[in-house]
Structure 1
């Protein structure tokens, strides 16, 4: 009897070990990210223009993808499913960029996209707006560099050596003009608190021996408009909703119903001059828009570099995905914000 009990105990112990290994495998990260179709979000609850028209019968929607680090199970599952993509980590994150720095960069891109969207819509509607400079936004701090342990991604630099900085270029020029080994005092804000720290500069071979801090940065500015625009999209990162934000803002600024009762989805970055830019994961966004019942989908008709035959434009990728899922949704190519506005106005006029 004792022998049988020992055998049973060994089998039970082995099962526990196997179970623990199965669970542990889920927490072992792989050097990949998994993306899959997300959702199509109606923009009317997200975008609010003070005094704007909120009685439109149409629905404008931004589209998203879901993305996260891969483990062995999500990797295997994604390899078997349509419209789930496995991306090498280096295709998603910059070299030496941490997960936190990646998140900071995505939300900064989203904020910039929102500001551009407001500017483009207000310019089209001939409404007043202006820019307010907030400082320099730290996107990342490279390891083993002078700024490591002093600055963090998300910090806003407001002055150097007591001098206000009005652009990232001005700061870069100032730092590079200093001799390697010299010290500068950086004033910055973090979590709404002010800090002042001294950093010793180092020569960088990549800069031809000029001084540097070892950070990547961007200008941080806020758009002030009349009427005021509020966007509640804190959980959505990246710049790809820019086009659809600008269309919703413009729609609320104008008296006429821009989309004339239609359900319109789309994607694309928006530059301050109204140019619509290329984005990633467009096939997955086409799937998300179709699931939400969109009738039209705006896709960037980006221009590829001469001689590039190994890639398709976003519009071509979207068309291919629409054919594969056999949707009735119309894929509309756009290169500028005005292209999208003109298409909707012409469609409304033809009804």
Structure 2
């Protein structure tokens, strides 16, 4: 009897160890519906950009910064909770409910727009010949309460609203936001090679403004007197726009602008030269500092009034970047910029 009890205990212990091992493996392997955002790195723009086939061999570098976004496991979540500059987001917060394929496509659209805007702005500042045709806006997301659910789809291009064409996505947004809540609105769009027109209604957006309930970015096409070539396969999003612009401008107009300095930064770029806000800037400061950058350009725009209503202590990109730099005790200089010209002026002053 004692021998049977001993064997039973051994089997129970073995089973417990096996279950524990399975649980530990699951904690490291089984994906959860969350993503972990952490500092990534900084990459020399010259590795993905050339102008007229020439290599920019001047000293120093312009570096675009990036973050890592990893699917979470239980072990990853525990690690993220105790690791500085690491945030956890739900899968829906990251992808907006889009499939992996659509999410990748969305980020590629952002990158395409960023490249076109960077080329346009850089060559315009350099006094070079360039034109940019505005083809409409790419549809990147359709909100759940949008009356265009099932009508518009990701990758469609909206070309008109109520029969009106626009010069930029911001012009379209401004027009739609002035319409009354519940008003009928007619949208013309291109989908799978067809031009279609459908009706919906104006709704209240999460930011408190009126709209049609879609996420969007400019669909543009540029033609210039220079051959600006990008090799950005696997890299998505719009936040490298500022650094792309500075790199192109330097090669065309002012080869000595860097003066041997290692410069990083982040920010979108708009047609008129303004630098737009980006996400995860605290992590990008860490990425830049770890790469040895001496200067970091950060967008310095006012916090949206609607955000301040719910969070009066909200900080803008520049303030968040300064706070991050202080926490990691870096000597890297954080420079506020509202336009590309701000960045050029700072570099020219040496």
Q: Which moved more, 1:308-317 or 1:42-51?
A: 308-317
Long gaps (5+) in structure 1? 160-164, 179-183, 208-212
Once residues 216 and 320 of structure 1 are traced to their aligned partners in structure 2, the CA distance between those partners, rounded to angstroms, is 30
2:138 alignment counterpart: 137
Q: Contact 1:58/1:257 (CA < 8 Å) preserved in 2?
A: no
Q: Contact 1:251/1:258 (CA < 8 Å) preserved in 2?
A: yes
Task: Write out aligned runs for 1:1-351 (5 A).
Answer: 7-25=9-27, 26-30=29-33, 32-50=34-52, 52=54, 54-89=56-91, 91-94=93-96, 96-132=97-133, 137-140=138-141, 153-154=154-155, 188-189=191-192, 206=203, 218-305=217-304, 309-347=312-350
Q: Contact 1:93/1:102 (CA < 8 Å) preserved in 2?
A: yes
Shift of residue 76 of structure 1? 0.8
Shift of residue 62 of structure 1? 0.6
Shift of residue 118 of structure 1? 0.9
With the length of structure 2 as denominator, give the TM-score of the two structures: 0.77
Shift of residue 144 of structure 1? 11
Q: CA, structure 1 residues 281+10, in 2 after alignment: closer, same or farther (shift >3 Å)?
A: same
SS class of match (2:297): strand
Shift of residue 309 of structure 1? 3.6
Shift of residue 9 of structure 1? 4.1
Once residues 82 and 223 of structure 1 are traced to their aligned partners in structure 2, the CA distance between those partners, rounded to angstroms, is 41
Once residues 271 and 197 of structure 1 are traced to their aligned partners in structure 2, the CA distance between those partners, rounded to angstroms, is 27
Once residues 60 and 76 of structure 2 are traced to their aligned partners in structure 1, the CA distance between those partners, rounded to angstroms, is 37
With the length of structure 1 as denominator, give the TM-score of the two structures: 0.76
Q: CA, structure 1 residues 346+188, in 2 after alignment: closer, same or farther (shift >3 Å)?
A: same
CA displacement, residues 43-76 of structure 1 (integer Å, 9 cap, x when unaligned): 1121111055622112110111111233321111
Q: CA, structure 1 residues 344+53, in 2 after alignment: closer, same or farther (shift >3 Å)?
A: farther
RMSD: 3.9
Once residues 309 and 197 of structure 1 are traced to their aligned partners in structure 2, the CA distance between those partners, rounded to angstroms, is 44
Q: Contact 2:148/2:200 (CA < 8 Å) preserved in 1?
A: no
Shift of residue 13 of structure 1? 3.5
Q: Contact 1:297/1:332 (CA < 8 Å) preserved in 2?
A: yes
Shift of residue 330 of structure 1? 1.1
SS class of match (1:302): coil
CA displacement, residues 236-285 of structure 1 (integer Å, 9 cap, x when unaligned): 22211111110011111125321111111111111111111221211111
Shift of residue 90 of structure 1? 5.2
Once residues 240 and 191 of structure 2 are traced to their aligned partners in structure 1, the CA distance between those partners, rounded to angstroms, is 30
Q: Contact 2:263/2:296 (CA < 8 Å) preserved in 1?
A: yes
Q: CA, structure 1 residues 133+319, in 2 after alignment: closer, same or farther (shift >3 Å)?
A: closer
Shift of residue 137 of structure 1? 3.3
Q: CA, structure 1 residues 253+103, in 2 after alignment: closer, same or farther (shift >3 Å)?
A: same
